[in-house]
Amino acid sequence: MPAEEMTQKEIEQFLACARVGRIGIVLENGQPYVVPVGYAYADSKIFFHTCNKGLKMDAIRRNANVCFEVDESLSDASMFKSVIVFGTAEIIEDKERMIPYLQRLIDKYRVPESFDTYMNKPGRNREIELEALRICAITPKKITGKKWFMKG
């Protein structure tokens, strides 16, 4: 049985719930580079936080066209889902603009609490951490989703 197209609702639900995605970018030497990221999906955008320096950021600054993928399967291969997003990544550098995105990531991956409460925990330094990271927000141009379930 061939894979089926996912509906827009199924795609959005899967993007909202999946834990890890993979971003594909092109390095300066032309080589493809795929790296897993924790991310969130809201307001029709995919976003993740990352260090403000490194291969990923250098590549996105050179070429904002990216590919993003999430998938899920059962170990016995009786089910799989995959969503692929082609889009443009925007690097958000303004600290105040980053906070709502960081809040959504905290809500997804930590115990939901306010950004300020989270940053006031022992060992955290709001200014240093905000200086060291950036948010990348992907605006999709094309999204495809496939699913397959073993019948029987």
Query: Which amino acid is present at 147?
Result: K
Query: Can you tell me the mean pLDDT for 3-17?
Result: 95
Token pair 């997003």 is found at 85
pLDDT tens per residue, range 121-139: 999 988 999 999 999 999 9
pLDDT at 54: 92
**Is residue 2 pLDDT above 80, yes or no?**
no
Token pair 């379930």 is found at 149
SS3 127: helix
pLDDT at 44: 94
pLDDT at 3: 86
> Domains of the chain, with CATH numbers?
4-149 (2.30.110.10)
**Is residue 152 pLDDT above 80, yes or no?**
no
pLDDT tens per residue, range 32-80: 999 999 999 999 999 999 999 999 999 999 999 999 999 998 877 788 9
Rounded mean pLDDT of the chain? 93
- Sign (positive or negative) of CA dihedral 83, 84, 86, 89: positive
pLDDT tens per residue, range 97-127: 999 999 999 999 987 889 989 888 999 988 9
Q: Which two tokens stand for residue 90?
A: 């925007």
- Residues 6 or more apart from 54 whose CB is under 8 A from it? none
Query: Which amino acid is present at 123?
Result: G
Q: Which two tokens stand for residue 108?
A: 């997804």
Whether 129 contacts 76, CB under 8 Å: no
- Sign (positive or negative) of CA dihedral 91, 70, 115, 52: negative
CA distances (Å), origin 123, targets 49, 101, 103, 112, 128:
19, 21, 18, 19, 11
> Cβ of 126: how many Cβ atoms within 10 Å?
14
Would the pTM count as exceeding 0.85? yes
**Is residue 1 pLDDT above 70, yes or no?**
no
